[in-house]
Amino acid sequence: MHSGPSKTAEAIVAVLVPPARREEVLGDLQERYTSPRQYTLDALHTVPLVIISRMCRTADPQILLIQAFALYVSFLGAAWLRGGAVLSEPWGLLRLAIPAAMAMLGLILDDTYANPGRRSALSLARGPLLGLVLALASQEMFWISDPDLAIPRWIAFYGCAMSLLLSSAVRMLFPPVTGQLLGANAPALGLKQTGASRGGPQAIIRVLKGISAILAVAIVGTWMAERSVPPKAWIAVLLLVLLIAYQVSKRG
Amino acid sequence: MAKPDSLGQFEQLVLTAILTLREDAYGVTIHSKVQELARSKTVSLGAVYVTLDRLEHKGLVASWLSDPTPERGGRAKRCYRLEALGERALQESAVTAKRIWDVIAEVWGKEWAKEWGKRWGKEAG
């Protein structure tokens, strides 16, 4: 006699639970199974919390802030590039924040649902791509339902292209923490990482990388806004910071 | 030696459950034990997962995947054990709780402490 949840119910739960926790959550829910109703209620009480918990473990607030800045600057730059008319319109700045927020959601979801076992060079671009799709989808929805909330198409396209470039660059500088080990050695590793990030050369490299990323975003933003070559001094400062970061990382 | 963070009440319950279950500490059993320890409060499995994740991140517990079992549809369990830091954090929590109890008993009197001691004895069966 079949005494487990239906395949459909299990498949839905399997899709919703992040891969890093899928095995044990599905197993535990199956072990507790008594009836379809109980399974549904159990899943409803469990899955959202598992997703939020995974989000908290994979998201780094400092990097998220840099990403948010880069994404918003992308759409702001695109608006300037297209004449800046949208900036003077009512709620213009807020409307530009909607696609940036959707792109951010894409990055967070990608980190949450990343499989720690599978890592490839393309995985760094997957999050920004998902963000781009979500940003364009949200704009498409607004263009159909409420055009007042949408930003002009060309600003959306330019902004998405720019955000893809910048957020990929930020992800290359700060790779996501989804590759953390999950196993008996995990806490020791976690402690080492926490300890390393609190001081020493690692902390300096981290700060320098952050400064470099912000400088890069500022240079690109200036270039887009003024449609002119960025000041040489800015580029020189960026190169200098990158050089210091490289030297510190080599010695550290 | 690293100093453990102070624990919340639910974290204390989860750590105590892992301590009592020893080799058999995984999601379902930890949840049952926490439910038993929390008495009247309803505890969701999700809340236990969130706390286990946090405790693992803090380095208080360690986890590993066991072999798959048929009653779980061929899926593995994630087993947990206390790390040295977790044991120390739990000990500190217990000592603090004892200290609080002693002070309250001193202020509110021995009769009060006896009465509560009896009540807890009855609840525990």
Q: Which domains are assigned to chain B? A: 9-124 (1.10.10.10)
pLDDT digits (tens, 9 = 90+) for B53-99: 999 999 999 999 998 888 888 899 999 999 999 999 999 999 999 99
Q: Kindly tell me if the per-residue pLDDT of A180 is higher than 70.
A: no
Domain boundaries, chain A: 7-54, 60-179, 184-252
Of residues A10, A54, A187, nearest to B56 (C-beta): A187
| Positive or negative: CA dihedral A71, A77, A79, A82 | negative
- Residue B94 pLDDT: 93
* Residues A24, B44: C-beta atoms closer than 8 Å: no
- Mean of the per-residue pLDDT values of chain A: 79
Which residues of A touch chain B, with CB atoms under 8 Å apart?
4, 10, 21, 23-32, 42, 45-50, 52-54, 56-57, 182-188, 190-191, 194
- At B125 the pLDDT is 59
Cβ–Cβ below 8 Å for A31 and B72:
yes
Q: What is the DSSP string of chain A?
A: ---S--HHHHHHHHHHS-HHHHHHHHHHHHHT-SSHHHHHHHHHHHHHHHHHHHHHHH--HHHHHHHHHHHHHHHHHHHHHTTSHHHHSTTHHHHHHHHHHHHHHHHHHHHHT--TT---TTHHHHHHHHHHHHHHHHHHHHHHH-TTTSPPHHHHHHHHHHHHHHHHHHHHHS--GGG---STTHHHHHHHHHHHHHSHHHHHHHHHHHHHHHHHHHHHHHHHHHTSPPPHHHHHHHHHHHHHHHHHHHH-
Q: Mean pLDDT lowest for which of A200-209, B42-51, B57-66? A: A200-209
pLDDT at A134: 92
Mutate to test the interface with A, among B3, B28, B79, B87 (most CBs of A within 10 A): B28
Residue among B60, B62, B71 minimizing CB distance to A31: B71
pTM: 0.75
**Count of CB contacts below 8 A, A vs B?**
99
Tell me which chain A residues have a C-beta less than 8 angstroms from the C-beta of B60: 187
Question: Which residues from chain A sit within 8 angstroms of residue B69, using beta carbons?
Answer: 27
Q: What is the ipTM of this complex?
A: 0.86
- Name B79's bridge partners: B26, B64
> A23-47, pLDDT tens digit by residue?
999 999 999 999 999 999 999 999 9
At A184, is the pLDDT very low, low, confident or very high (cuts 50, 70, 90)? very low
Instruction: Find residue B82's DSSP bridge partners.
Output: B61
User: For residue B88, what is the enclosing H or E element?
Assistant: helix B84-108
Count of CB atoms within 10 A of residue A141's CB? 13
Chain A residues with CB under 8 Å of B64 CB are 183-184
Instruction: Answer whether B2's CB lies under 8 Å from A191's CB.
Output: yes
pLDDT score, position B104: 86
Q: Model confidence over A85-114: pLDDT tens digits?
A: 777 777 888 888 999 999 999 999 998 998
* pLDDT band of A192, cuts 50, 70, 90: very low
**Minimum Cα–Cα distance from A10: chain B residue:** B73
HSE at residue A181, side-chain half, CA atoms within 13 A, is 15
Give pairs for B64-72: CB < 8 Å, separation 24+.
B64/A183, B64/A184, B65/A23, B65/A24, B65/A183, B66/B26, B68/A27, B69/A27, B71/A30, B71/A31, B72/A27, B72/A28, B72/A30, B72/A31
Report pLDDT for A189.
44
Indicate yes or no: CB of A27 within 8 angstroms of CB of B72: yes
Which residues of chain A have a CB within 8 Å of the CB of B85?
A: 187
pLDDT for A250 beyond 70: no
Subunit contact B49:A50, Cβ cutoff 8 A: yes
Identity of residue B98:
K
> What is the C-alpha to C-alpha distance for residues A219 and A230, in angstroms, rounded to an integer?
6
Residue at token pair 């320890």:
B37
pLDDT of residue B6: 83
Q: Is A136 a residue whose pLDDT tops 80?
A: yes
What H or E segment, with its residue span, contains residue B65? strand B61-65
Q: Flag whether pLDDT at A206 surpasses 90.
A: no
The two structure tokens encoding residue A4: 């487990």
Q: Which residue would you say has higher pLDDT here, A143 or A172?
A: A143
Give the mean model confidence (pLDDT) for residues A63-91.
Answer: 84
Does B50 contact A28 at a Cβ distance shorter than 8 Å?
no
Is A28 close to B26, i.e. CB distance below 8 A?
A: yes
Report pLDDT for B46. 94
Disruptive mutation site among A49, A54, A177, A178 for chain B (greatest number of B CBs within 10 Å): A49
Predicted local distance difference test score (pLDDT) of residue A247: 65
Question: Cβ B57–A188 below 8 Å, yes or no?
Answer: no
Q: With a cut of 70, say whether residue A221 has pLDDT above it.
A: no
- Partner A contacted by B80 (CB < 8 A): no
Query: How many other C-beta atoms can be found within 10 angstroms of the C-beta atom of residue A200?
Result: 11
CA-nearest residue of chain A to B52? A53
Model pLDDT, residue A86: 77
